[in-house]
Structure 1
Amino acid sequence: MSGLVTPHRFDGKVVAVTGAAQGIGLTVATRLAAEGASLILIDRAEIVHEVAKGLRENGTDAHSITADLEQFADAEAAIDEARQQHGRLDVLINNVGGTIWAKPYEHYTAEQIQAEVQRSLFPTLWTCRAVLPHLIAQQSGTIVNVSSVATRGVNRVPYAASKGGVNALTASLALEAAQYGIRVVATAPGGTEAPARRVPRGPGAETDQEKAWYQQIVDQTVDSSLLKRYGTLDEQAAAIVFLASDEATYITGTVLPVAGGDLG
């Protein structure tokens, strides 16, 4: 990774990262490893086991779990297994989600709307619910949710609504959890440059019309950014890891936009 690293910042910390097999989640996991964390990597893609193996070969304590976090039973089982690895869990980073289709709202089917919400809201709802009793019992812990500035964006209304739900969850759960010494925070990434996904989120743009709709997303994202560019994976990971760290112990209930000046 090319981002700045703070050595030993997570020494002695047990951190679970969902959606850790690729993209932002993989970059977050790699940075946490460099900063001393013991990692639990959760993803429904089998390649998460390759990621954990690579980190272990470099000296990191890393355990991998495959789970479909769109289902509460899987989320609960994954969190239980994660906690059993070290007897506790200090940080949960909820990174699962992402636009499946890109098109004006009137072109979505009911099934597609439900699938978008199931992908980008429910995994965070489920894992927060699953981890909360453990953190309450510990009287400590941090949850970092990965939202999006696309709550104000074109051609992905169901995704925007889902991430608006993540923002509301973050604010409301922080109010409830503070009495137990638990922080709940979020970042809201903007457009982010990333390698092609090894496991795609959806069918991708195929027709000329679908490609034009997707290009509208790109154009609006860049135009909304004061810096007029996409961010990098390292820029996204830096904010997530900071909020997860003890450097952010007086921050809770807030969503930090990481989008070059676009506030969403």
Structure 2
Amino acid sequence: MNAQRFANKVIVVTGAAQGIGRGVALRAAAEGGKVVFVDRADFVAEVAGEAIGADTAAFVADMETYEGAARAMAFAVERFGRIDVLINGVGGAIRMRPFHEFEAAHIDAEIRRSLMPTLYACHAVLPHMLKQGGGGTIVNVSSNATRGIRRVPYSAAKGGVNALTQSLAMEYGERNIRVVAAAPGGTEAPPRRVPRNADGDSDQEKVWTSEAVRQVTESTFLKRYSTLEEQVAPILFLASDEAAYITGAVLPVAGGDNG
């Protein structure tokens, strides 16, 4: 593996302030990339600053809106002149509960959180990739939770991400734009500085969450959650030229549970 796989590459990572997205953005910068860290949390600039000696920039945007996605891509082009790689890391289940316990507003929020940022970002980046010539790569962070309990709306959203990945790959392959996805399983991560469910979980929701965690763990062949690095590495492999002949693929990274 080339330790500077992303030298001279401009990479946009959304959801870069926390979790997998943070790990991806920092490692891409360490491997020579010019990285734009995008998140709606204002401490994303602090995270970008952790990439000592790297050429990075931070941009605050709400990727659940099309305007946010468009502004983020425009900023990256203004700052670095092009976008070679887009890694869509925004998403994550907000609530865990049986499907019949979800309210309509909750369903809408899950789809808005885990499908629309990827859909919007892909749409916003394509004109830039097409205009600059030389193609580009889009890596969508999906999930193996397309099969799982207590998060049906999230599962539906990630199923949409998989379909988007395959359809875009077919449509833009002849323009030398690769579109791929990684589908992480359960991942151990530090506590989030901004929780996904701002309302907090009730005692009952904590029970439902524990049921989902048990199912996720027991469904893996390895009977454990992954580390963050075990998710970061496959995502960056897909983003790199080492995966130049891979497109339209959704790579499960879930200890054998393919979702």
Name the TM-score, length of structure 2 as normaliser: 0.97
Q: Report the counterpart of residue 71 of structure 1 in structure 2.
A: 65
3-state SS of paired residue (1:175): helix
Residue from 137, 141, 147 that aligns with 2:142: 147
1:134 aligns with 128
Cα distance, 1:62 vs structure 2: 0.5
Q: CA deviation at 1:168?
A: 0.2
Instruction: Point out 4+ residue stretches in structure 1 off by more than 2 angstroms.
Output: 203-206
How far apart are 1:54 and its partner, in Å? 2.2
Paired residue for 1:167? 162
Structure 1 residue 6, shift from structure 2 partner = 4.4
Report the counterpart of residue 218 of structure 1 in structure 2: 213
Aligned counterparts of 1:195 and 1:52: Cα–Cα separation in 2: 17
Alignment partner of 2:20 out of 10, 18, 24: 24
C-alpha distance in 1, partners of 2:50/2:95?
A: 32
Give the corresponding residue for 1:113.
107
What residue in structure 2 maps to residue 43 of structure 1?
39
Once residues 179 and 92 of structure 1 are traced to their aligned partners in structure 2, the CA distance between those partners, rounded to angstroms, is 18
Deviates further, 168-177 or 29-38: 29-38
Query: Where does structure 2 lack aligned partners over 5 or more consecutive residues?
Result: none
Query: 1:248 & 1:50 partners in 2: Cα distance?
Result: 31
Task: State the distance in 2 between where 1:240 and 1:19 align.
Answer: 14
The CA distance in 1 between the partners of 2:159 and 2:258, in whole Å, is 13
In the aligned structure 1, how far is the partner of 2:8 from the partner of 2:45?
Answer: 22
Alpha-carbon distance between aligned partners in 2 of 1:115 and 1:125, rounded to the nearest angstrom: 15
Deviates more, 1:196-205 or 1:125-134: 196-205
Instruction: Confirm or deny: 8 A CA contact 2:48 2:57 kept in the other structure.
Output: yes
Q: Structure 2: how far apart are the matches of 1:31 and 1:42?
A: 15
Question: C-alpha separation between the residues in 2 aligned to 1:261 and 1:105?
Answer: 25
- Contact 1:205–1:214 (8 Å) recurs in 2: no
Deviation at 1:182, TM superposition (A): 0.3
Instruction: Answer yes or no: is the 8 Å Cα contact 1:155–1:213 preserved in 2.
Output: yes
1:33 counterpart letter in structure 2 = A
Name the residue aligned to 1:228: 223
In structure 1, stretches of 5+ residues that fail to align are: none
Describe the superposition over 1:104-150 as per-residue Cα deviations: whole angstroms up to 9, x where unpaired: 00000000000000000000000000000111122410000000000
Rounded to whole Å, the distance in 2 between the matches of 1:117 and 1:109 is 13
Partner of 1:254: 249
How many residues are treated as equivalent by the alignment?
A: 257
Indicate yes or no: 2:179 matched with 1:196.
Answer: no
2:240 aligned partner: 245
> Secondary structure at the residue paired with 1:214?
helix
Code of the aligned partner of 1:242: F
2:26–2:48 CA contact under 8 A, matched in 1: no
Deviations, residues 167-197 of structure 1 (Å, cap 9, x unaligned): 0000000001101100000000000000000
Which digits, 9 at most, give the CA deviation of each residue in 1:24-51, with x for residues without a partner?
A: 0011111111111110010000010101
Q: What does residue 87 of structure 1 align with?
A: 81
For residues 170 and 189 of structure 1, the distance between their equivalents in structure 2, rounded to whole angstroms, comes to: 15
In structure 1, what is the Cα distance between the partners aligned to 2:220 and 2:37? 31
